[in-house]
Amino acid sequence: MKKKLHLILLIAGALVLAAGLYCFASICGMKDAVYAGYGVSFSDAAFQSVFMNDHDEAAVRADFNAAVLSGTGDSAAEGTDGTEAPDGTEAPAETEATGAETETAPAAAAAGAPYDTVIGSFSRVSSLRTAWRLQGIFLPVGALLCLAGLVLILRGKHLDFASIMRSKITWAVIAEILILIVCLIIRPDFFSISYQPSNHMLYGNLIDIINRSAEITIIGMGMTMVIALGGTDLSVGALVAVSGALALKLMRWDPTNPLYQTPGDYTVYPFILVLAVPLLVCLLMGLFNGMLIGRLKLQPIIATLILMVSGRGIAQIVTNGKQYTTMYSPFRWIGQGSCLYLPTPIVITVVIVVGVMLFVRKTAFGTFVESVGINANSSRLSGINSRAIILIVFALTGLLSGISGLIYSSRIMSNDSNNAGLNYETDAILSVVIGGTSMTGGKFSLAGTVIGSIIIRTIVTFVYFFGIPADATMAFKALIIAVVIVLQAEPVRVWMAKRTERRALAKGGAMK
Amino acid sequence: MPEEVRKQTNEPQNILEMRGIEMQFPGVKALDGVDFFLRAGEIHALLGENGAGKSTLIKCLTGVNHKDAGTILFDGKEITPTSPQNAIQMGIATVFQEINLCPNLTVAENIFVGRKEFKRKIINAKARELMQRFHLDIDVTRPLSYYSTAVQQMVSIARAVNIESKILILDEPTSSLDENEVQLLFAVMRELKAAGMGIIFITHFLDQIYAISDRMTILRNGRLVGTYDIGEINKLQLVTLMVGKDMENIFDLHPVQVAPDAPDTLKAEHLGAPGPVADISLEMKKGELLGFAGLLGSGRTETAEMIFGANRPTSGKVELKGKAVVVKKPFDAIMNGVAFCPEDRKRDGIVGDLSIRENIMLAVQAKRGFLHPLSRAEQNELADKYIKALSIATPDAEKKIGELSGGNQQKVILARWMATQPDLLILDEPTRGIDVGAKAEIQRLMLEMCKDGVSVIFISSEMEEVIRCSNRIVVMRDGKKAAELTGPFDSETQSKILQIIAEGGEAS
Amino acid sequence: MSVRTEKRQSLLTRIMNPKYMMVYATVIIFLIIYAYGAIRYGKSGFTTLRTFVNFFTDNAYYGISAVGMTMVLITGGIDLSVASVASLTGMIVAYGYERMGISPVITMLFSMLVGIGLGALMGAAIHYLNVPPFITTLTGSFLARGICSLISRESISMNHPLIDQLAGTKITLYHLVDGEWVKIKPITKIDMTVIIFIVMIIAGTILLQHTRFGRNVYAIGGNEASAKLMGLPVGRTKIAVYAINGFCSALAGIAYVLVVKSGWNMALLGGELEVISSAVIGGTLLTGGVGYMVGTMFGVLLKSVIPAIINFNGTLSSWWGKIATGGLLLLFIVIQRLVVSYTERKRK
């Protein structure tokens, strides 16, 4: 039974996934038909307001025709969504498709066509409704089942139930799933994913959560190892600001122009330089941190405090206190474009996460980091160059902060030395800790950090769905994090382990 | 010697009676019905190998751990200590093996923190007085971190002694003290004993037990073996009782023969560093075992660290296998085929949270660099090979090294270095703090490596071990090489070495 | 004879005791920077008493909070919630009076209770649940600021006679001229916040140096496991330290209200770093066990001197202040490092 478990999981996952994909395809088919026939891309928001109101056929027909013919189903609303600050303050990006109803209603009545061509019968409408609700549940659940099956196949030998339950990551995953379930109860279509043909991108809350967590996840990859070494890097937020400031400065700087500024839609320096210089500077700043910690043996928290305090000052001096904006489209692609039907930041994040994981686990680097984090003396005497390890880890964190800074400033198409990367250090540290890496150093889990960062972003989304003012997000973040951390706290886990053990003993005794 | 458990009769002058103490750790029964009785005005040695349950018993008494069953009668009343603080209030003072003081506080503050007196002037005066009793003339207003480990240990003893307590527990207090300091401590202990205090004394040094104790209680595997008066059994009987098997043929070990024309492995000339050591010259042949004798702090460890690059020598040069090398850091030494098991296993040896497999592969991997990793299969092979070869007691290679016993940890460290296939292996106190059986095994391994052509430097405080295994012995004194003795050695060698160490002391 | 030499020695050794080195370094660097300012900008009024008093006034609320933070750092912990708690205090006082009509006296007392309670709660979590202080207090910080935002999302300015009176209470400095007490001109007054700051520094010094509690605080910072085995009340002390720090944060919040006369949910954003860096510049070790209130006070003064110099210069961008603070931090921790390695080498 146990040996077959992975097969069962895989098959079930594939079936559910296929069902989800079928639902997804049927919705896409409808949307494509609209796009092909009327040149209008039919947005999620429009879809929702037309189909989800449980109206009868006549109302749906009128709504649909109005939305398609007026072209309100365009994706403008979704596009602006990406430019807002990712701190949870964004407003609901719902397009009021019905608002245009009054003026286009006569035209729709005259034509009458879109509904009959695209939809046909009312039973199609109700099946679309069902598809819309189900695909959001089928897709993630199927993916999860497949993932579990794959994990079992790959790592099956080393897994046993007790150690899984003891693992901190398990609790983080359970917490994430609980939050998502609550979201699902509040909004049944929370998980729904849809495709937007106009900019070749998938939309949906899940995708948005992952998209918005990109910056923290990227920094978290470095931070995980910094914490595994027993330290913390407080300077990441400031480096995000520095990176953005440098990128914008270079993009707008024109030595030949009397105003020393380009209008913002082209760059004087090659674009690659615009990207490379901020990254290089952040790498060097990370190296500086690493030197202080590895060579001068300073405490990481205080060594990185230096750049945290002065970094934003440096960013301000780079731009002379100005806030530049740009319209340069290749730069926009980094934060707002799409790649492989996904928002570019997700793709960048996946590439970085996989890259770092390969580097850490396929070489002996991860073991060395853990070894130095657990016992620096022993490691040195075993011939490990702990100084080099520290240097690499902090330089890497600096570089990743730089990448994160580019994504951030591309999202807002501007630099903001005061607010760029604000509180990123705390968010990154929290994701690492929620992901199960101990603040005292030692064993670390990069996958855990990814989950931690997604949890933090989910909380923000969750709070937003509750309709709570964005400013109060912090209080809820605090509450949920407190619960996760208390569950993970060593005394609590020991107590629970003892309780289960005692129960098992009691059971065993009774059997005897 | 009768093997049955001997129990004491209930005597009226017992100040402490522990009966049927039981203590369960996950998976292990650490204490199983142990009885322990302490009289007022006696020094009572508590003996046993590592893991016998001595420390656990003490921790039950001082409230660090909580017993699962049994009773503790103190002064005729039943007590259940809930915390160290609670135990201190009841009159049970403890000096733990590791120094448990605050390095940032001054000596005086360390002695009096948590006590009634706390005004600076008063405690400084009192502390000065107290330190004079230990013949220590130090500035008590300086932070503790300013002083050597030995002084710190004396301060921690002073702190415990100063409490008006009825029981004093000394858990391995002498491990960082030299002979003089030990004598001072003994003098203080005798004074306290005369004042009617009951002292529980835990140590690994058998001589010290016979020098100071009145009675002894022996534990083995969490069970009571028995309580004896000091004159009742001799050392050999004592060791036999502790180990539970016959000692005679455990240590049937002999030095390995070295061919006279074997090439040199190590040639060190005039090594020196300011402070600890000056002008050390050594020469070693392939397959030779060189013993280092000398007191703690005589420069044994420092010499080893200089050869390995853990500390950089300021003068002199090193040749390995006939090639002059510059060793700046341990990595350089490892690349040249040197390996080093450090003295403080917990601080410098193990990487506690990593598995046995990872601990074994660490040095090999460091030698290769992290970009050329050993595959998982190679790592497993390596780990399994050495777990079998060194008979490391573990269910599998994925167990954390921190969860192993001291002896097994030492074997893993040894495996780490054997895996690098060194030409020169330096072992600094590899047998310290591990039980007798494991000691013998480690010495046997050492000699086997010599047979395979590895040169070994063996540093140990236990002279018998050094004499038993070495081809040559270097006697260290005050950071200098005092003598070099060439084997074969006989029963007189020990007294000869002692004489060199002692006379040197007088001369300077 | 021998007694006398011993006494003289002990005086010298007492002054040269390595544990005071860091405080000396802070004071010396303060004096150097002050001297630089005095030489460069002496004519434009850098040396006046008013400028000097302003060093205290500028950062008084940070200074008050730094008193508690020093204690937390000495135990080896850290508290990131101070600025949020101070901001919450300001909000409670302002909202309480302006929107609910409660007297500021009651809201001030209440916010102190809130500070103490939150501090004690965090201390308990740190001690009993073994959650790292960094994470615990970060969560506390989110909580305080979140509650603050729940109360009100916009700045509430307040207008109450008591606040005005407290803010207006000043001590005027006099000096003796020809046997008569004359007001120092230009008129120098010491604000209420500065008085609180100095009183807190003195109280903190007494608490740390002359009570059993203070000694326990140092012991825990030196080695917590040892302190436990020495029978010291570790848990109680740690919780008390965080509670005291909560109190100091609330008091700092009140001082801040006296200055700005309003409550705002984003007030003092990032202030915890100002407070921590003041303490570190004042010679407190983040590893715990070392630190003095006097040092912290000079740390706070140093953080006012640098902007003052930039101000007097007039041509430099104020952003250089941040960079200078960073540089100063670097300088200090390097000095700390050198002092530590020096004493270590001497021991060998």
Q: Tell me, what's the pLDDT at A74?
A: 44
Instruction: Give C-chain residues touching A316 at CB under 8 angstroms.
Output: 317, 319, 322
Q: Where are the alpha helices (DSSP H) in chain C?
A: 2-15, 21-41, 49-58, 60-74, 82-98, 104-129, 133-151, 161-168, 192-209, 212-222, 224-229, 234-260, 271-281, 293-313, 319-347
Q: Tell me, what's the pLDDT at A197?
A: 67
Instruction: Give A-chain residues touching C263 at CB under 8 angstroms.
Output: none
Q: Which of residues 476-505 of A touch C (CB under 8 A)?
A: 476-479, 481-482, 485-486, 489-492
A243 touches chain C (CB under 8 A): no
First-to-last CA distance in chain A?
27
Within a domain: C256: yes
pLDDT band at B504 (very low <50, low <70, confident <90, very high): low
Give the span between the Cα atoms of C9 and C303, in whole angstroms: 36
Instruction: Give A-chain residues touching C129 at CB under 8 angstroms.
Output: 486, 489-492
Q: Which domain holds residue C208?
A: 21-341
Nearest to B351 among A362, A374, A501 (CB): A374
Residue scoring higher pLDDT (B139 or B424) = B424
Q: Tell me, what's the pLDDT at B426?
A: 93
pLDDT digits (tens, 9 = 90+) for B166-197: 888 988 887 767 777 788 888 888 888 888 88
In angstroms, how far apart are the furthest CA atoms of chain A? Answer: 92
- The answer to whether C136 and C122 have CB atoms below 8 angstroms apart is yes
Beta carbons of C289 and B102 less than 8 Å apart = yes
Which of B237-251, B431-445, C216-230 is modeled with the greatest confidence?
C216-230
- Alpha-carbon gap: A360 to the closest alpha carbon of chain B (Å): 10
Nearest to C89 by CA among C255, C326, C294: C255
Q: Tell me, what's the pLDDT at C3?
A: 39
Query: What is chain B's mean pLDDT, rounded?
Result: 82
Close Cβ partners of C94 (under 8 Å, ≥ 6 residues apart):
C156, C157, C158, C257, C262, C263
Question: Residue A485's closest chain C neighbor by CA?
Answer: C131
Query: What CATH number is associated with residue C166?
Result: 1.10.3470
3-state SS, residue A98: helix
Residues (pLDDT < 70) of chain C are: 1-16, 18, 173, 175, 183-188, 343-348
- The answer to whether C89 and C254 have CB atoms below 8 angstroms apart is yes
Give the span between the Cα atoms of C186 and B64, in whole angstroms: 64
Q: Are strands B315-320 and B323-325 parallel, antiparallel or unpaired?
A: antiparallel
Q: Tell me, what's the pLDDT at C246?
A: 96
B400 touches chain A (CB under 8 A): no
Instruction: Give C-chain residues touching A479 at CB under 8 angstroms.
Output: 143
Q: Tell me, what's the pLDDT at A100?
A: 40
Nearest to A306 among C153, C287, C330 (CB): C330
Beta carbons of B105 and C222 less than 8 Å apart = yes
Instruction: Give C-chain residues touching A473 at CB under 8 angstroms.
Output: 146
**Protein fold of B249-337+422-508:** Rossmann fold (3.40.50)
3-state SS, residue C199: helix
**How many beta-carbon pairs under 8 angstroms link A with C?**
132
Each residue's pLDDT, cut to its tens digit, for chain A (512 residues) gives 456 777 788 888 888 888 888 787 777 777 777 777 777 777 767 777 777 777 777 777 777 777 777 665 444 333 333 333 344 333 333 333 444 444 444 444 444 567 777 777 777 777 777 777 777 777 778 888 888 777 777 666 555 666 666 677 777 788 888 888 887 777 767 777 777 766 778 878 888 899 999 999 999 999 999 999 988 899 999 999 999 999 998 888 877 766 667 766 777 788 888 899 999 999 999 999 999 999 888 888 888 988 988 898 899 988 888 888 888 888 889 888 888 888 999 999 999 999 999 999 899 999 999 999 999 889 999 999 989 999 999 999 999 999 999 999 999 998 888 888 888 988 898 899 888 888 878 889 999 999 999 988 888 887 777 777 666 777 877 887 787 778 777 777 777 777 776 766 665 544 44
**HSE (side-chain half, CA atoms, 13 Å) at A428:** 30
Domain spans of chain B, in order of start: 14-91+164-243, 249-337+422-508, 349-420
- Alpha-carbon gap: B457 to the closest alpha carbon of chain C (Å): 25
Phi-psi sector, C104: left (phi>0), alpha (psi -120 to 50), beta? alpha
pTM of the prediction?
A: 0.79
Mutate to test the interface with C, among A242, A307, A309, A438 (most CBs of C within 10 A): A309
Beta carbons of C347 and B146 less than 8 Å apart = yes
Inter-axis angle of helices C21-41 and C319-347, to 10 degrees? 140
Instruction: Give C-chain residues touching B93 at CB under 8 angstroms.
Output: none
- Alpha-carbon gap: A495 to the closest alpha carbon of chain C (Å): 11
CA distances from C317 to A316, B154, B166, C312, C324 (A): 9, 58, 69, 12, 12
- The answer to whether C25 and C283 have CB atoms below 8 angstroms apart is yes
Q: Tell me, what's the pLDDT at A110?
A: 44
Give the span between the Cα atoms of B201 and B172, in whole angstroms: 7
Touching chains, B (3+ CB pairs < 8 A)? A, C
Nearest to C146 among A308, A314, A474 (CB): A474
Q: Which of residues 325-344 of C touch B (CB under 8 A)?
A: 343-344
- Using the structure block, give the residue that is written with the tokens 């189909």: A51
Q: Tell me, what's the pLDDT at C245?
A: 96
pLDDT of B157 > 90? The answer is: no
**Protein fold of B14-91+164-243:** Rossmann fold (3.40.50)
* DSSP code at position A198: G
C346 touches chain B (CB under 8 A): yes
Nearest to A363 among B366, B367, B371 (CB): B371
Question: What domain count does chain C have?
Answer: 1
Beta carbons of A385 and B334 less than 8 Å apart = no
Mutate to test the interface with A, among B24, B307, B328, B370 (most CBs of A within 10 A): B370
Question: Residue A439's closest chain C neighbor by CA?
Answer: C132
Q: Which of residues 258-277 of B touch C (CB under 8 A)?
A: 275-276
Nearest to B172 by CA among B205, B143, B197, B195: B205
Touching chains, A (3+ CB pairs < 8 A)? B, C
Report residue B433 CA to chain centroid gap.
4
